[in-house]
Amino acid sequence: MFIDEQTKQHLLWADVLRGFRPRTPMGRKAWERFSPFLPGQEREWEEVLAEQERLRKAAEGDPDWGHRIDACLSRVPDVLPLFPLLRGKQSPGVSGWFQLKGFLWQVKNLGERLREKGLQTLLSEVEPDLCPTLLRRLNPDSPLTPAFSLVSAFDERLGILRGRLERLDRRIREEREALTRRIAEEYGVRPNRWGEWVVDRRSDVSRRMAEDRRLRLVRESAFDRVFAPVLSPEGEGRMEERSELEARLEAVEREVLEALAADFAPHVPALERAAEAVARFDLQWSRMEAARKWQGCRPRLSAGPIRVAGGVHPAVAERLREEGSRFTPVDIRVDKGVTVIIGPNMGGKTMVLRTLGLIVALAQHGFFVPAARCELPLVSFVSGVMGDGQDARAGLSTFGAEVKRVAEWFGKKGGLLLIDEIGRGTNPVEGAALSAAVTAHLAQSDHWAVHVTHYAEVLEVAGIRRYRTAGLRDAERDRGRDDWASRMDFRLIPLAEGEGVPHQALLIAEAMGMPRGIVEEARRWIAGAPGSAAAERLAGGGRETGKCRKRGGVLPWRSGPRG
């Protein structure tokens, strides 16, 4: 699996794709079974992106043209259920034939629209003669229309039978009208809309009508009698003839539809290819439209690192916009091995993971990505250990759930791993050791791992790339201000040589309203902790600039080369 449900949730995948909706039924079905582009499919991936680039250029240069394409796609009916019927030479109903005609009509229109912009190759799988030929078979009279009916041009017998039926109906109607008029005049009673007389059963007219052989009693109630005219024997004969004609007409109509089905059966493979082509184009168009909303850029293929400049998480950015804030774009380079991000709480570390994971996942699903620039190799999967991964049914704690998930990665190859503070769910000493050990192993692996942590020990691992989030600005001057968010700098900055884990938790706690006495007490605790020269600096609110403070002896991975 390229991306599991848990990771999708962490990346807010559904929120981002809420605006992505293929227009056609076949496009929606294709998206449900769509698999992202994986290593080895670089050529196909680049083709999809190049096509979208051409489409986007055309749509942005001529918005009306874009609306016409949208309208064509939105009107494509669901013809997939008709194909098995036609393959078996069974006729769909009249509504099914209408849908098939509508499909051919819209594919023809779509082809014409694409030709206007020299983009006809995007529907090249559709046989050039398919639509005109089949449309003419469904519309044997002129001119072509998108409506469908069993016109007499399908079979000359239809015209003959319908003509006879019409003439017969006219004669029956004339006879009834004449009889009705005569009776109405004789009795001085007007018939109702259905040519019946409703008369008071106690009236003299009722008695006389009951005795009139030209009338028959249709029904009666306690108050009324309802009479209808009786046709002459010739008239009755015409009624019988009419029933026979109706039956023959129905039989011919059935024959016509069956012949049409037999005629269409050999074209089913071509129709299926056309439906696939429409689905593919629809996905391209819908991806392009979705990416236009987040002003996406075309991702480029990279030989090794994942590089993102100006990366944005559209769903979070939207939420921040509503709150009057703005998203700080992410600039990051992730090489094979491990990239570690450190920084204060609420400094934006997790958001970096989310944004990066989302951009890679979108890219591999063929989308332009929400970034100013992006290059990446195709990875085998995207997986994250982020937030609380407790699985209540499996009875796992946060820590257990994380460990189980991380352990699974070691059996795989070439994925993007997003790790949010592994080991935080257990005691700090073991947690730090495990966090550093996992980092050390991943550093030697085939994965692109990004690890967000507070453990200074992780920075000791050899061969890793390091970043920090900028954190609180001008901490001393603004101390005590309530508006901590405006003081926070969410930018990601490469970590300078020798720079350690920043300590701003107490400052942030204070900014967020923790009583000053408690914060001061915490500072005193740090100051009083054994062997901590750095603690003195911490108590003053600064950043630890020396080597990281170690909790134990020399760690085995410390001696390796520094990245």
Partner 1 sequence: MLPKDWTGREMKRLAIVGLSKNAGKTTVLNHLSGAAVSRSLPAGLVSIGVDGEERDAWSGRPKPQVLVPEGAVVATAGPCLDVRAGNWEVLEELPVRSLLGQVFLARAVRPGTVKLAGICSAEEVDRVLEGFGRHGVRLALVDGAYDRKAAAHPIRSDGVILVVGASAGKTLEEVVRRTEEWVRIFSLPPCGDPLLEKAGKRAVLEGWTMGIAGEGIEPFPLSSLLVDRGKLSEAMGSRPWTALAVPGALTDRTLMLLAQCGCSFPLVLSSPTHAFFSLRTLRTFLRSGGEIRYLERPPLVGVAINPVSPEGGAFDPREMKRRMARVCRPVPVTDVIRDGFDGLHLMPWRWDGVH
Name which position in 22, 27, 36, 102 contacts partner 1 (CB under 8 A).
102
CA dihedral 391, 396, 401, 405 (to 10 degrees): -90
As given in the structure block, the two tokens for residue 308 are 């993102």
Least spacing, CB of residue 68 vs partner 1, in Å: 18
Least spacing, CB of residue 18 vs partner 1, in Å: 19
Name which position in 85, 98, 301, 309 contacts partner 1 (CB under 8 A).
98
Q: Is 171 in the site for partner 1 (CB under 8 A)?
A: no
Residue 197: which of 211, 178, 176, 183 has the closest Cα? 183
Least spacing, CB of residue 370 vs partner 1, in Å: 30
* Residue 96 or 111 having the CB closest to partner 1: 96
Q: Is 96 in the site for partner 1 (CB under 8 A)?
A: yes
* Residue 154 or 448 having the CB closest to partner 1: 154
* Residue 137 or 549 having the CB closest to partner 1: 137
Q: Is 221 in the site for partner 1 (CB under 8 A)?
A: yes
Q: Is 81 in the site for partner 1 (CB under 8 A)?
A: no
* Residue 225 or 503 having the CB closest to partner 1: 225
Three-state DSSP state, 361: helix
Q: Is 198 in the site for partner 1 (CB under 8 A)?
A: yes
Q: Is 69 in the site for partner 1 (CB under 8 A)?
A: no
Least spacing, CB of residue 44 vs partner 1, in Å: 33
**Per DSSP, what are the bridge partners of residue 219?**
226
Least spacing, CB of residue 92 vs partner 1, in Å: 8
Q: Is-contact 148 140, C-beta < 8 A?
A: no
Q: Is 250 in the site for partner 1 (CB under 8 A)?
A: yes
Place of tokens 């991380």: 406
Q: Is-contact 310 9, C-beta < 8 A?
A: no
Residues in CB range of 374: below 8 A, 6 or more apart: 297, 299, 300, 307, 308, 309, 311, 359, 363
* Residue 100 or 317 having the CB closest to partner 1: 100
Q: Is-contact 352 291, C-beta < 8 A?
A: no
Q: Which stretch binds partner 1 (CB under 8 A): 124-132, 175-183, 290-298, 361-369?
A: 175-183
Three-state DSSP state, 450: strand
In terms of DSSP bridges, do strands 224-229 and 215-220 run parallel, antiparallel, or are they unpaired? antiparallel
Q: Is 104 in the site for partner 1 (CB under 8 A)?
A: no
| Per-position b or e across 21-46, b if 16+ CB within 10 A of its CB | ebbbbbbbebbeeeebbbeeeeeebe
Q: Is 83 in the site for partner 1 (CB under 8 A)?
A: no
Name which position in 47, 60, 116, 177 contacts partner 1 (CB under 8 A).
177
Q: Is 148 in the site for partner 1 (CB under 8 A)?
A: yes
Q: Is 107 in the site for partner 1 (CB under 8 A)?
A: no
Least spacing, CB of residue 149 vs partner 1, in Å: 4
Q: Is 191 in the site for partner 1 (CB under 8 A)?
A: yes
Distance separating alpha carbons of residues 299 and 366, to the nearest angstrom: 9
**Per DSSP, what are the bridge partners of residue 420?**
452
What single string gives the DSSP state of each residue in 254-297? HHHHHHHHHHHGGGHHHHHHHHHHHHHHHHHHHHHHHHHHTT-B
* Residue 93 or 546 having the CB closest to partner 1: 93
Q: Is 193 in the site for partner 1 (CB under 8 A)?
A: yes
Residues in CB range of 341: below 8 A, 6 or more apart: 349, 352, 353, 450, 451, 452, 453, 466, 467, 468, 469, 492
| Per-position b or e across 493-523, b if 16+ CB within 10 A of its CB | eebeeebbbbbbebbbbbbeeeeeeebeebb
Least spacing, CB of residue 214 vs partner 1, in Å: 16
Q: Is 77 in the site for partner 1 (CB under 8 A)?
A: yes
Q: Is 195 in the site for partner 1 (CB under 8 A)?
A: yes
Q: Which stretch binds partner 1 (CB under 8 A): 217-225, 349-357, 381-389, 458-466?
A: 217-225
Q: Is 143 in the site for partner 1 (CB under 8 A)?
A: no
Least spacing, CB of residue 196 vs partner 1, in Å: 8
Least spacing, CB of residue 181 vs partner 1, in Å: 8
Binding residues for partner 1, rule: CB under 8 A, are 77, 93-99, 102, 147-150, 158, 162, 172-173, 176-177, 180, 190-195, 198, 221-224, 226, 249-250, 253-254, 257
